[in-house]
């Protein structure tokens, strides 16, 4: 039985941190979409996605990242990814996500990355 998916938000200054937990696939993707949409609706476009407790991600789950990144960057923000387990990180890397997303080890690293690279061009 897949681990149920959850997303909860914390903040580090003006950076929103979305902590993902469990199994992100086609059926759980809407919860993640809503969480990102809520950030954009509140004009918060500096987003860190913390995947430390993410146990699995499917292509449909990865599709959520692609669905928002242009809008986020148009608003002058970015979406940084951190804390992925090796198994999950491998899925990101196989598909080449490291080419257009900053992927770092921890939330503090990701928050710091906003200082050095506020918006990364795709």
Partner 1 sequence: MAHVSVSRLESLLESAQLLHASLDLDNLLKHLLRTVMGRLLVTRAVIAIDAGDGPRVAMSRGVAEATLGQPFDEARATALGLRHHLPIGVPAVGLLATASPARPTVDEEERAFLEALLGIAATGISNANAHAQATRLNRDLDRKIQELRTLMELGRAFSRVNEVEEVARIFGLTVAGQWMVTRYAITVCRDGLGTVSRQQGVKLPPLATYQEAMHRLPDAALVADLEDSELRALFEAHKLCAVFSLRSGEQVCGFAALGPRPGGQSYTPADLELGAGMAAQAVVAFDNCWYFREVLDKKQYEKELAVAASIQQGLFPAALPSLSGFDVAAMNRPAQQVGGDYYDVLTLTDGDDEACLFCVADVSGKGLAASLLMSTIQATLRALLGREASLAELACRANELLFATTPGSKYATAALVLAHPHTGECRYVSGGHTESLLLRADGQRVWLGATGVPLGLFPGMVWEEVALTLREGDVLVLYSDGVSEAQTESFDEFGSERLADIVERERHRPATAITTALLDAIDEFVEGAPQFDDITLMVIKRI
Place of tokens 């909860």: 8
Residue 84: which residues within 8 A CB-CB, separation 6 or more? 51, 52, 54, 92, 103
By beta-carbon proximity to partner 1, the closer residue of 11 and 60 is 60
Nearest CA to 118 out of 15, 9, 3, 4 is that of: 15
Stretch in the footprint of partner 1 (CB under 8 A) among 4-12, 40-48, 93-101, 108-116: 93-101
For partner 1, which residue of 10, 95, 108, 117 counts as binding (CB under 8 A)? 95
Question: Within 1-122, where are the H helices?
Answer: 29-41, 59-74, 86-94, 107-116
User: Residue 77 interacts with partner 1 (CB under 8 A)?
Assistant: no
Torsion of CA 108, 12, 32, 114, to 10 degrees: -60
Least CB distance to partner 1 at residue 3 (A): 15
Strand pairing of 103-104 and 78-82?
Answer: parallel
User: Residue 67 interacts with partner 1 (CB under 8 A)?
Assistant: yes
User: Residue 109 interacts with partner 1 (CB under 8 A)?
Assistant: no
For partner 1, which residue of 3, 9, 34, 59 counts as binding (CB under 8 A)? 59
Stretch in the footprint of partner 1 (CB under 8 A) among 9-17, 24-32, 80-88, 103-111: 24-32
Q: Which residues bind partner 1 (CB under 8 A)?
A: 25-27, 29, 58-67, 69-70, 90-91, 94-97, 99-100, 122
């Amino acid at each position: 039985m897949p681990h149920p998916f959850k997303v909860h938000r914390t903040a580090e200054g003006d950076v929103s941190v979305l902590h993902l937990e469990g199994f992100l696939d086609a059926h759980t993707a809407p919860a993640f979409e809503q969480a990102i949409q809520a950030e954009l609706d509140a004009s918060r476009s500096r987003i860190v996605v913390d995947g430390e407790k993410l146990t699995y991600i499917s292509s449909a789950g990865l599709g959520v990242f692609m669905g928002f990144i242009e809008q986020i960057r148009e608003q002058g923000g970015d979406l940084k990814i951190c804390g992925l387990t090796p198994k999950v990180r491998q899925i990101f890397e196989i598909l080449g996500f490291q080419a257009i997303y900053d992927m770092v080890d921890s939330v503090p690293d990701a928050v710091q990355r906003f200082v050095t690279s506020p918006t990364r061009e795709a």
